[in-house]
Amino acid sequence: MLDGIRIIDLTMHLAGPYCTWLLGHLGADVIKVERPGGDPARKTGPIIEGESVYFASVNRNKRSIVLDLKADADRAIFTELVKSADALVENYRPGVMDRLGFGEARLAQLNPRLVFASISGFGQTGPLRDRPAFDVIAQAMGGLMSITGPEGGPPVRSGMSIGDIASSLFAANGITAALLARERNGAAPRVDVSMLDCQLALLENAVARHLNAGDEPRPIGTRHPSITPFQAFSASDGDLVVAVDGDASFGRFCEALGMPALKDDPRFSELAIRHQNHGELEPILAAQFMAGTRDDWLARLTGADVACGPLNTIKDSVAQAQVSARDMISQPLRDDGPAMKFAASPLGARGSVPERPAPALGQHASEVLAELRLHDV
């Protein structure tokens, strides 16, 4: 999809590298420019045979070159690299690129067609632009933590780095859109992605309810804020989730549970009333689910065309036949054989097209310099 597109990757840790991994998987030539010593994520555990699992996961499909952008010789190399590229992605604090001598104006001068993309905690503008931020900061300040966790409980961080990953996804989308816009009108739009902005965008329902209905969203466990039943329940031997999205579905749900009278109970017969009375319905359903096994309930509900599924562990999730059928586990091939296993990208070719493993530090310096017609240094 992005064959022939060259992307300079100046990113570190997670938010930036995840973005450029996605672009590399789609076919872009991603050149990861690392400072001497490399991306700090190379030292993040767990370490297997000298390699960071964290780094290896989000730096697949890239080439690595080491450049010190404070050294004149390396700055000259980087200048030529910029001239050859279609996009540059960085996740420094705002102002760092300017201090390095490669701010927006300088990059545009070197390569007017270059798409310049930045991922930062708070964006390139606004009173907080200079503050550092990591995933947990974005989750907290964006409001996500305030609505995550058990009802009545303390704020809880999401179990995955959604602050970082969301900004990666928006950045990848913005970069591909900017590349398309460049081809249409010759201009290379600036891509400015803020982790805080992305959290607000992900919280669309909660934000919209607050701004328009005056709601103050709070943690409600696994329940849905406006649909009932739409949550997790415990069976006698495990947990499952159900998503009953309307009155017709609720009727089928009640039949499958062997409780047909519930669908005509005036407390539960309509969605709005049912949701209002979730506190009365939930213990009735909880007791019924505990009377049977998880697999039996899943079979009954699936047979009634009610959306449901097991509450899996990560171990359970990756072992699913559906995951295998979709080739969602990737095992990049190294020269000495298969490398580690990772989640695959849900976009583009997979399975039949093995990914390339994350590069060793500076592994591709000679070939990149040769492509730039520069001598190895």
Q: Which active-site residues does the annotation give?
A: 164
For the stretch 47-82, what's the b/e string if a residue is b when 16 or more beta carbons lie within 10 angstroms of its beta carbon?
Answer: eeeebbebbbbbbbbbbbbbbebeeeebeebbbbbb
Angle made by CA atoms 57, 49, 64, in degrees to the nearest 5: 50
Q: Point out which residues pair with 234 in neighbouring strands.
A: 239
Whole-angstrom distance, CA of residue 300 vs CA of residue 294: 10
Whole-angstrom distance, CA of residue 292 vs CA of residue 89: 52
Whole-angstrom distance, CA of residue 164 vs CA of residue 262: 43
Residue 275: what are its φ and ψ, rounded to 5°?
-65, -40
Q: Is 235 left (phi over 0), alpha (psi -120 to 50) or beta?
A: beta
Q: Report which DSSP code applies to 372.
A: T
Is the CB of residue 55 less than 8 Å from the CB of residue 42? yes
**Edge-to-edge strand order for the sheet containing 230-234?**
230-234, 239-243, 307-310
Residue 330: what are its φ and ψ, rounded to 5°?
-105, 140
Cα of 294 vs its chain's centroid, Å: 30
Q: In terms of DSSP H, where are the helices of the chain?
A: 15-25, 53-58, 72-84, 96-99, 104-110, 135-142, 162-185, 195-202, 204-213, 247-256, 271-276, 278-290, 294-303, 314-318, 321-325, 365-371
Of 364, 312, 314, the C-alpha closest to 341 is 314
Residue 40: what are its φ and ψ, rounded to 5°?
-55, -25
